[in-house]
Amino acid sequence: MTTVENTPSATRRDDVAERLLRSAGELSYDPLQEVDWETPLDPAHHGCSPEWSTLYGTAYWDELTEAQRAALTRQEAASVASTGIWFEMILQQMVIRDFYAKDPTDPAFQWALTEIADECRHSIMFARGAEKLGAPAYRPARHVVEGGRVFKAVATGEAAYASILVAEEVLDVMQRDWMRDDRVAPFARTINNIHVVEEARHMRFAREETRERLEGVGPVRRRVQALLVAFAAFFIVTSMWNKQVYANAGLDPKRALREAKANQHHRAMLRSSCAELMEFLGSVGLLTRPARAIYRAAHIL
């Protein structure tokens, strides 16, 4: 009979998974019941905190009326949510593939299924939220979609879990702002609150898995994985704000896109939101010089 060695890392992993399972049992949400889907959207409400708009701090923003600003943030929030759905589907497939045919009595296995169930609810919640915000279905560029198709099929170990952490960490900080902001539509604040609470558990598991998978890894593999994670981060972050949001908000898309690309305020907000993520990646050896260059290109370092 084969026995499983009870290593310190395995024990820590089981302890973390058991705590996460208990937490999920004590505090989880059903968005279909918790979110107010019935009350009509007030056009004065924003979709996200205005300070997180890609145009906030630009000359164009100063020229917009409050109604135009609110309309823009609703489209931007829907775009971020749509990108979230895209990556959550990638996440689910990577996690399922990682735990395929493994011991179902393992707490980590059971947590993985719990996380997948959470993500299914989140994707439906984001989809309904985007629809309520009056937005179309935003999708990443075709080459990003096809790249994601390959990535979800081949990414394993630390590359998979560190990439999951990237997507979750970037969203977490901005959503913490949005859920507390009275200018944001109440139903959107509820969506953000649900996601923040439940994603905190997902981030904890992703950190633990990343650390464990990197134990004893050689320098070559570490450098390769650092690049994979950095490229994933680049395409996730640069896909969050679809360029079609400006036309759909009734703005001049060429001018809006030009000013958004040069917006130093938005870049600073992104860097601030990713500070803890960069610290973690550095602590596990995934913040190599080439990876840093990619993160800087995405304006998150």
pLDDT digits (tens, 9 = 90+) for 98-156: 999 999 999 999 999 999 999 999 999 999 999 999 999 999 999 999 999 999 999 99
C-alpha span between 143 and 91 (Å, rounded): 18
Ranges of residues in the chain with a pLDDT under 70 are 1-7
pLDDT digits (tens, 9 = 90+) for 47-71: 999 999 999 999 999 999 999 999 9
Per-residue pLDDT at 6? 61
The C-alpha angle with vertex 253 and arms to 251 and 256, in degrees rounded to 5, equals 80
46-297 carries CATH number 1.10.620.20: yes
Per-residue pLDDT at 10? 76
Domains of the chain by residue range: 46-297
Give 10-79 as a 3 state SS string: HHHHHHHHHHHHHHHHHCCCCHHHHCCCCCCCCCCCECCCHHHCCCCCCHHHHHCCHHHHHHHHHHHHHH
